[in-house]
Chains A and B, each alone.
Chain A
Amino acid sequence: MKVRVKFAKEGAMKFVGHLDIMRYFQKAIRRAGIDIAYSEGFSPHMIMSFANPLGVGLTSEGEYFDMQLCTAFPSGELVRRLNDTMVEGMRVISAVQVPDGKAGKAMSLVEAADYRIAFRESQPLPDDWRTRFTAFMERPSMVICKKTKKGEKEMDIRPLVYAWHFEDDAVFMRVSSGSSDNLRPEYLMEAFFEAEGLALEPSALMIHRMEIYADLGTEGRHDFRSLEALGQIIE
């Protein structure tokens, strides 16, 4: 049975990188006594895959991995067992069964993500920054230079922002995510500060990922569904 686990990564855990989080969950699954499936071969490994790695320094309440189980557990039992062995800052939110096939491939499904971006207190902001940000977001295109392995690449990021609004002193945005057209929200904020001639301090942004989505829409229309919503509660 294929199970999708949704978890949060907060507090000091934002300093633990993606590969180490994978190792952390492998050990947690053993501690929790969850009967996960292993690959064949001389050095078998757990059959599990993570969706869209979160960068060091970011927090999230919308992280996912899929795992293959040998024995069925009810959703509540899975969540409880994992949470009993989590450290502060790590929290399992849900565990749902997902079908085999495309809907069961967390990694390749990712098309969008929600972020909340707040500013650290030390970051100076002009009083009219909201007005200026609103005007900035009305531009039809925003071309940035993105560093890639092969050098620099020009990229228009405006079409990759699907929605945005202010949330208290923070900015909420839904952006394109996944293996193609992945938009890191800091690129957009950096572009705004640069366009306005404002200085952005290192690590001035506090970025929180809220959810990751698949896109079930057709013919150019988006129909975003959270990865969790593609599965079913295990009774």
Chain B
Amino acid sequence: MRKLALNDEILLQIEKPARYIGNEVNSVIKDADKVDIRFCMCFPDVYEIGMSHLGIQILYDMFNQKENVWCERVYSPWPDMDKILRDRQIPLFALESQDPVRDFDFLGITIQYEMCYTNILQILDLSGIPLRAVNRTWEDPVVIGGGPCAYNPEPIAPFFDLFYIGEGETVYFDLLDLYREARAGQWSRRDFLIRAGQIPGLYAPSLYETTYHEDGTIASFRPAEDGLPAVIEKQAVEDMSDTYYPEKPVIPFIKATQDRVVLEIQRGCIRGCRFCQAGMLYRPLRERNLDFLKDKALKMLDSTGHEEISLSSLSSSDYSRLPELVNFLIDECDRRGVNISLPSLRIDAFSLEVMEKIQDIRKSSLTFAPEAGSQRLRDVINKGLTEEVILDGAGKAFAGGWNRVKLYFMLGLPTETEEDQKAIAWLAEKIAERYYDIPKEQRKGKCQIVVSTSFFVPKPSTPFQWAPMCRKEEFLDRAAVVRREIHGQLNQKSIKYNWHEADVSVLEGIFARGDRRMADVIQYAYEHGAIFDAWSEYYDQARWDASFAACGVDPDFYVCRTRADDEIFPWDFIDAGVTREFLLREWKRAGQEKVTENCRHTCSGCGAKKYKGGVCYEGQSEVC
């Protein structure tokens, strides 16, 4: 039997001990003496969230395919466990071997959202790894960060030895080879980082220097060593049907947020919504081919026994062979007693027909994400959805027997006026009216429309990276306008309104566009007890206010300013695949309320064509 890092007495007094025992179906056990690299992959949030993340499953499988590499996992210990580990000075351990994380060669941390930054420090601290990279030695693992937040790594730069900019399937093995060479050749850690920083896509933050203008903006940012690139280029997979994808994903014992097979049908998005960071970062759109997907779907269903399969992508309706894929899955899943879930589908005749087959209409609801209430503002954000399309889709769905609709909006978008905010209520009202147009005897009781608003957070590498963001009070005022207007509608009883917390959104905005000076604030907050900031029960605004004050950092500098066209941003040294010229062009077009066509309609010259694949080359192979 495997030995556990924690004794029974501990495991029996904490919540959900199965978070810490490993041993899950399809988890990989190797002989530690027979591998030369041990890689610990971390999602810095609780187990159930981290186990739902596809990226780690892909990389875990990729690494473990190599005989001489053993990749294991670690997640953030929940506060009850956190306390025990600290009180008894038990080092944080990886799930598979139960060995201390500090003994690993690499600690890879996926950084999916800004509110996990303090959890990164928790992982390092509980592992006994110095928080700051400059204080680490070869006694510590190489700490490498990746994922969407790595596209502006500066607020957390001092905590990492390396960042990986782009998709993990591409250059990891080059890094591992270099590491072997470095350890065999007894290089210094710094020499290793200098060489690693020359691998395309890898960024070694300790080897770069920033200077600032008197007004606080960046004056310069450059490598402090010869041979390091001034710009780090995002790495992207060229052919999504000829790459790593797990056939045996790990299955947690306790119910994870995603307790299903996840089939990533494509990466990237053609839509170009101007607020959407994922839509910019994952360009170009690259589809996986149908045979690849069918094969992986069946293998994963067989190897997991999951009762549900879900398609994953930013906009599934844009997958060119969706009907064939869905019909194949419906047949296969029907035989196996497996459910299908199809998120991010546009509501149209096809999707309604499919949903009728795969879901219980009485229990399901339709989801639209207009993001803005008025057509004018939807043009500003380049959300191609029109009111006509929404009402038509809702009308068809109501006729098909649905009576529940969810609508998602953002508040605080650039150029947003009170009229735009009220238009959210008017759109909900029009949908309700469309429902009550159906003769009474044909409809099923009342309709239920749930309107949810989140607060707009400008993100790096999007056209809105120049935009100012609202303060907390402005956000809440806007939510109040929507709430009042909904109450004034004829069918207000059929409309429910939810809005997001404002404090967290503002902090998220500060981190998203923050610079290196932010690291002190994050460390200060952590050292004063901040962890699990993404969880409202642990989020403490007063602690953050105190941390900013103690470090002398003004949050408004990051939140309220409209940035000049030529301001140097903290993340400018990262080439995310879309050019700054394209983003600026889109920012200007937003101001002019001009829509930009999707990639399949017209190429808008964003720069992603250099990745030699995907939608940029669709339909051109015959010509060449």
Residues of A at the B interface (CB closer than 8 Å) are 10-13, 15-17, 20, 23-24, 26-31, 33, 38, 42-44, 46, 56-57, 85, 87-89, 120, 201-203, 206
State in angstroms the CA–CA spacing of A203 and B360 once bound together.
46
Q: Say yes or no: is B11 at the interface (Cβ < 8 Å to chain A).
A: yes
Q: Which residues of A contact B339 (CB under 8 A)?
A: 43
Q: Which residues of A contact B24 (CB under 8 A)?
A: 87
Interface string of B252-273 (1 = CB under 8 A from A): 0111000000000000000000
Q: Which residues of B contact A11 (CB under 8 A)?
A: 1-2
Contact, CB under 8 Å: A87 / B23 = yes
Q: Which residues of A contact B18 (CB under 8 A)?
A: 15-17, 20
Q: Which residues of B contact A10 (CB under 8 A)?
A: 1
Report the minimal beta-carbon distance from B617 to chain A, rounded to whole angstroms.
Answer: 39
Contact, CB under 8 Å: B360 / A31 = no
With A87-B24, A202-B13 already in contact, 7 other A-B pairs whose C-beta atoms are closer than 8 Å: A10-B1, A12-B4, A26-B307, A30-B336, A30-B337, A31-B305, A88-B23
Chain B residue at minimum C-beta to C-beta distance from A14: B8
Report the minimal beta-carbon distance from A90 to chain B, rounded to whole angstroms.
Answer: 9
Contact, CB under 8 Å: B253 / A20 = yes
Report the minimal beta-carbon distance from A128 to chain B, rounded to whole angstroms.
Answer: 26
Q: Which residues of A contact B9 (CB under 8 A)?
A: 201-203
Q: Say yes or no: is B17 at the interface (Cβ < 8 Å to chain A).
A: yes
List 9 A-B pairs, minimum CB-CB distance, nearest first: A27-B305, A30-B305, A15-B17, A31-B305, A42-B360, A12-B21, A11-B1, A16-B253, A203-B12
Contact, CB under 8 Å: B255 / A27 = no
Contact, CB under 8 Å: B337 / A44 = yes
Q: Say yes or no: is B251 at the interface (Cβ < 8 Å to chain A).
A: yes
Q: Say yes or no: is B443 at the interface (Cβ < 8 Å to chain A).
A: no
Contact, CB under 8 Å: A202 / B251 = no
Contact, CB under 8 Å: B25 / A57 = no
List 18 A-B residue pairs with CB atoms under 8 Å apart, sorted by A's residue number: A12-B4, A12-B23, A27-B305, A28-B305, A30-B307, A31-B25, A33-B302, A43-B360, A44-B337, A57-B11, A57-B12, A85-B305, A87-B25, A120-B8, A201-B9, A202-B13, A203-B8, A203-B12
Q: Which residues of A contact B11 (CB under 8 A)?
A: 15, 57
Give the number of chain B interface residues (Cβ < 8 Å): 30
Q: Say yes or no: is B304 at the interface (Cβ < 8 Å to chain A).
A: yes
Q: Which residues of B contact A38 (CB under 8 A)?
A: 337
Q: Say yes or no: is B406 at the interface (Cβ < 8 Å to chain A).
A: no
Report the minimal beta-carbon distance from A84 to chain B, rounded to whole angstroms.
Answer: 12
Q: Say yes or no: is B306 at the interface (Cβ < 8 Å to chain A).
A: yes
Q: Which residues of B contact A13 (CB under 8 A)?
A: 23
Q: Which residues of A contact B22 (CB under 8 A)?
A: 12
State in angstroms the CA–CA spacing of A141 and B485 once bound together.
70
Report the minimal beta-carbon distance from B35 to chain A, rounded to whole angstroms.
Answer: 20
Partner among A28, A56, A85, A87 whose Cβ is within 8 Å of the Cβ of B17: A56
Chain B residue at minimum C-beta to C-beta distance from A24: B253
Contact, CB under 8 Å: A20 / B303 = no
Q: Which residues of A contact B17 (CB under 8 A)?
A: 15, 56
State in angstroms the CA–CA spacing of A201 and B7 once bound together.
14
Contact, CB under 8 Å: A27 / B360 = no
Contact, CB under 8 Å: A15 / B21 = yes
Partner among B25, B253, B337 whose Cβ is within 8 Å of the Cβ of A85: B25
Q: Which residues of B contact A17 (CB under 8 A)?
A: 18, 254
Contact residues of B between 336 and 358, Cβ < 8 Å to A: 336-337, 339
Contact residues of B between 293 and 350, Cβ < 8 Å to A: 301-307, 336-337, 339
Report the minimal beta-carbon distance from B354 to chain A, rounded to whole angstroms.
Answer: 15
Interface string of B212-251 (1 = CB under 8 A from A): 0000000000000000000000000000000000000001
Contact, CB under 8 Å: A57 / B23 = no
Contact, CB under 8 Å: B12 / A202 = yes
Contact, CB under 8 Å: B12 / A89 = no
Report the minimal beta-carbon distance from B149 to chain A, rounded to whole angstroms.
Answer: 32
State in angstroms the CA–CA spacing of A88 and B11 once bound together.
18
State in angstroms the CA–CA spacing of A27 and B253 once bound together.
10
Q: Which residues of A contact B13 (CB under 8 A)?
A: 202-203
Contact, CB under 8 Å: B25 / A20 = no
Chain A residue at minimum C-beta to C-beta distance from B259: A23
Q: A16-B253, A17-B18, A56-B17 are in contact. Are A89 and B1 (CB under 8 A)?
A: yes
Partner among A20, A42, A120 whose Cβ is within 8 Å of the Cβ of B255: A20
